[in-house]
Amino acid sequence: MKDSVTDAFLHRFEQDFAKTHKDIDLDIQIQEWDGIGEKVTAALASKDAPDVMEVGNTQVAQYAASGGVEDLTDRTEDLSGADWLPGLAGPGKIDGKQYGIPWYAANRVVVYNKDLFAQAGITAPPTTHAAWLADTAKLNKGATQGIYLPGQNWYTLAGFIWDEGGDLATRTGGSWKGTLDTPQALAGMDFYRRLQALGKGPKDSDEAKPPQAEVFAKGDVAQIISVPGGAKLIEETNPALKGKIGFFPIPGKEAGTPGSVFTGGSDLVVPEASAHHDAAYQVVKALTGDKWQTDMARTMSYVPNRTSLAKAVQGDPGTAAMAAGAARGRATPNSPQWAAVEATNPIKQYMTAVLTGSDPAEAAKTASTSITKTLGS
C-alpha cells in the first residue's frame, strides 16, 4: 500500500529476494488506500488475483467473510506465530483459522514536552492511571494545558475500556452485541472524562480537527496521545521544540503494566485464486522474517510483528515506547461489519454526550444498541 514502506526499502528487499529465490520474479504494485476495500474484494472473487496482498489488520475479517482468502493456519508455527503481537495476530484469525499474517504495527504513546514536565517538577513519566492523573493536574497550571485530549479520540478510549476488562462489542454464539454500557466500559469512559478535563481539548471533535500536532507545537501543551511520528510534524511546525519532545507508553492501571492500546498496522494475505501459492508463501515468509522485520522497523519506525524483535527499535525513543505498549495491543471487534460501525461511529457521539453532561449509562446504552444493530445487519 502507498507509503507503507519507502522505495529504498522495497528496492533492498527486491534485490535480496532475487538473489535468494532465483526461480521467482516479483512484480510489486503500489495501491492507494482510498477505495481499496472494493478493489480487494473484487480481486479475491476473480480468477486472476494477486499472489500476496497487504491489507489493514482490521480488514481481514471483512475479506475472509467475502471468501477467497487462503487459510494459512498450518504455516503459523513456521512463521513463529506464538510470538506475534496479539493486536496483529488476533484480527487475522477468524473462527480459529489464520488468514492474515502479521506484517507491521503502530500504536499510540504519550508524546510530552520535556521542558513543561521539568518546570512542574516531574522527573519521570507516570506509570499508572493514578499517577498520570496527578501529574497531569500538576501540569495543568496557568496557560499550560496538562494534556490536549479531544473528546472523540475513540481509539484511546478503547484502550481504557480494555484496561477495565470491557470491550466495544462482544460475540456470543453467532451474534455480536455492543457493550459500551457494561460497568467495565463505563469505568473506562469515566477515566477518559477525568483525563480529558485536565486540558482544553474540544469535546465534539477528534485529533484531526484541529490537527493535534499543530496544537502541541504552540508550546503550551504538556501532552498529547499520538503515534510517535507525530513528533516530526510538531518539530516541522515549531523547530524550537526539536530535542524537547519525549515519549512514554500509555500508563496502565498498575505499575509495570503499560496500558492497553489499539494496534494499527497491516497483515499479509494470500488469495485462494493465486496461481503461485508456494512462491507467495516464500514472499510472506521473507517479509515477516527476522531480517526484513528488523530492516523495516528501523527504516519506518514501526513495531515489528513479534515481541522478541522489540530490541530492534530500542535506539529510537518513540518507537521503543510504542513497542513497549504494543505488547498490550488489541484490535477492534473482529466482525466483518465493524467497518460499517466506524462509518457512522456512534462511539464518537457517545463520548461527546458524556463529556457535555449527558447521563453516561443512557448514552452508552444508546450507542451499544446502535453498534448491535449495525453488527447484526
pLDDT-based confidence at residue 168 (cuts at 50, 70, 90): very high
Q: Taking residues 243-258, report their average pLDDT.
A: 96
Domain annotation for the chain: domains and CATH numbers: 7-107+263-330 (3.40.190.10), 109-260+337-375 (3.40.190.10)
Q: Please tell me the predicted confidence (pLDDT) of residue 11.
A: 96
Q: Taking residues 82-99, report their average pLDDT.
A: 93
* Rounded Cα–Cα distance for residues 203 and 315 (Å): 36
pLDDT tens by residue, 96-146: 999 999 999 999 999 999 999 999 999 999 999 999 999 999 999 999 999
Sequence-distant (6+) residues with CB within 8 A of 61 are: 91, 94, 334, 335, 336, 338
pLDDT tens by residue, 207-235: 999 999 999 999 999 999 999 988 988 99
Q: Which amino acid would we find at residue 224?
A: I
* Rounded Cα–Cα distance for residues 136 and 372 (Å): 36
* Rounded Cα–Cα distance for residues 103 and 292 (Å): 10
Q: Taking residues 11-26, report their average pLDDT.
A: 97
Q: Please tell me the predicted confidence (pLDDT) of residue 174.
A: 85
Q: Taking residues 298-309, report their average pLDDT.
A: 92
pTM of this prediction?
0.89
Which of 124-138, 239-253, 311-325, 344-358 shows the lowest per-residue confidence on average (mean pLDDT)?
311-325
User: Would you state the cell numbers that stand for residue 342, as one nine-digit string?
Assistant: 466506524
Q: Please tell me the predicted confidence (pLDDT) of residue 229.
A: 85
* Rounded Cα–Cα distance for residues 369 and 344 (Å): 13
Q: 118: exposed, middle or buried (C-beta count within 10 Å: 0-12, 13-18, 19+)? A: exposed
pLDDT tens by residue, 37-79: 899 999 999 998 999 999 999 899 989 988 899 999 999 999 9
Count of CB atoms within 10 A of residue 7's CB? 8
Whether residue 173 has pLDDT greater than 90: no
pLDDT-based confidence at residue 371 (cuts at 50, 70, 90): very high
**What rounded mean pLDDT belongs to the chain?**
95
* Rounded Cα–Cα distance for residues 250 and 322 (Å): 9
Closest CA to 331 of 61, 4, 70: 61
Q: Taking residues 198-206, report their average pLDDT.
A: 96
Angle subtended at Cα 179 by Cα 177 and Cα 182, rounded to the nearest 5 degrees: 140
* Rounded Cα–Cα distance for residues 89 and 66 (Å): 19
Q: Using an 8 Å Cβ cutoff, are 110 and 317 in contact?
A: no
Q: Please tell me the predicted confidence (pLDDT) of residue 15.
A: 97
Which of 162-166, 342-346, 368-372 shows the lowest per-residue confidence on average (mean pLDDT)?
342-346
Whether residue 377 has pLDDT greater than 90: no
User: Would you state the cell numbers that stand for residue 186, as one nine-digit string?
Assistant: 463505563
Whether residue 26 has pLDDT greater than 90: yes
Q: What is the DSSP string of 119-185?
A: HTT--S---BHHHHHHHHHHH--TT-BS----TT-HHHHHHHHHHTT--SEEEETTEEEE-TTSHHH
